[in-house]
Structure formats: C-alpha cells, structure tokens
Amino acid sequence: MARVLDGAALAAAIKQEVGEEVRRLAARGVKPGLAAVLVDRVAASEIYVRNKVQACAELELSSDLITPPREITTEQLLNLVAELNARDDIDGILIQLPLPPQVDSKRLLDAIDPAKDVDGFHPVNSGRLLAGRPALAPCTPAGVIEILKRSNIPIAGRHAVVVGRSDIVGKPVAILLLHENATVTICHSKTRDLPAITRQADILVAAIGRPGFIAPEMVKPGATLVDVGINRLSTREEFDRFFKGDAKREAAFQKRGSTIVGDIDPKAFELASAYTPVPGGVGLLTIAMLMANTVRAAKLRRGL
C-alpha cells in the first residue's frame, strides 16, 4: 500500500515553525512584511493572493495587498516596485502572474530587489541557487524538497527524474535535488524514449502541465512520485479517463462541474511506495514556503 504524503500536515508543521520564528523576531523588534501586487484580477489569482494575505495574518506577518488597475503600464509598475524596494517595512515582494499583455513581465520581475524576491525568480537568486549559496528558492521546488525530507524519503544517492524544465519548477527543483546529492535527470518534450528514463527513477517529479501525462507503465514499482501538476478537468470524457468508478470524485464532479488531476495518472500511484496526492499535496506547501521565505528575507536583510 503506497504511503500518501500529506501536504496539509506538512504545511501546518512548516507554518507552526514560521510562526515561532516570527515571535522570536518580534521580541527583537522585527516584524516581517510582505507586499503582494495583484493586477490581472482573474478568479484563480484573487483566491491565491487572498490565501497568501490570510496566511500572513495567521502568522502575524504584516501584509500589503496592492491592486493597480488592469490598464497600468510597465513603467508605472516599475515605479511601484521601486517604491516597494525602498520601503524598510517590506521584506518580501511578490507580483502575481499572469500580468496583462501590455506589461513586460520579465522587466518587472527583474526590477525586484533580489533580497526581497520571495518568489525566488530573480536571476541573482537563480544564480545563487545554482552555486549553492544562500538564496531565496522558488516556493514550489522548495516545498518538494521539504516534503521528501520531512517524510524521511532518502534523496542522497537516489536517481531523481524531473519531467519538465520550466524556470519556475523544473530547473530549480532539479538543482535542489542535486544539492541533496541525488543523481538528477531532467526530461522534457524533446526527450527520446521518455518512459525508459522515467522507469529508472527512484524519485519521479512531474511538472509538465499535462493532465495524467505520467502513465502507470512509465513508473518503476516502489518509486516515490511527486506530482506538481494542477489540471482542471471539465468534460465527462476527461473525468472518465482518470476517475471512472470513483464515487467520491464523481459526487464532487457532479456538484462543481469539474475536478482536479495532476500530471501523474492516479492509477500510477498504486505502483508507488509513496506519492503526493492532487489536491492535497505539493500545492499546499507553496504558501507555507512563501511565508518561510518572507521570514528568511527579513533575517537575511538584517544580518540575523
């Protein structure tokens, strides 16, 4: 029976540790602060940012939610970022993506002070991460490592295969696994005979953004499966492909008109020794790691 790696329990443990660190900093007169910039107010982004602000309140971090109009220009947003960079009460700056099409996202993200880049996307932090120097790591990849370590999954000496090479997840999680002494293979859309490589994985991380892409025949029995994908299914055909006969999922699908699946076919979990479910896995650690990064940024900025 495969072990389910419970993201909710792990996220709660991380938040408790962050809360204790916040209280220690408060005793020294320091209150970490996070600024969240939400421009394109699509429903998913609003919910995600609201959850981040709520997490700040729960952990007694200060937060500043800034919602510029959708028509804002790149130059105006650059001025806003410059103001946030200069504010001593702000330790972390995050700009919720996606941004409207008229905004140069790359210029904007590069303008954030690397010391306040709690999303870990700035090239300076990417370079520090690659070099193994103190850096603010991207939250989802950092969460993957926390799940493995806190679940006592051995990493050193294991063959880790990462499917996906994005700058946000695939590349940084591969670097973090390498720093933990795993032997790492990165796969992508141009990889030849992908199943032959994924079947070698002791730890298989799926971050390719395609529903159920990792099929059971692509998994080595006994592997640890880490599913980073979040894909919404809204048609009966899609639902039946992955969840036909699952009464609990069926009820939720009928009620909401959709359900969520990761990048790994749920049937593959039966072969694993341990796996992260979707929902309830990696996604829950992303906000917890954002809070941890904000506190870390506050300490690094002050030399604590």
Catalytic residue list: 52, 96, 119
Measured over all CA atoms, what is the biggest interatomic distance in the chain, rounded to whole angstroms? 57
The CA angle 236-240-242, to the nearest 5 degrees, is 130
> CA dist 278 to 172, 288, 304, Å?
21, 17, 37
Phi, psi angles (nearest 5°) of residue 96: -70, 125
> CA dist 208 to 134, 152, 160, 168, 195, Å?
28, 25, 15, 11, 14
Distance CA 206, CA 209 (A): 8
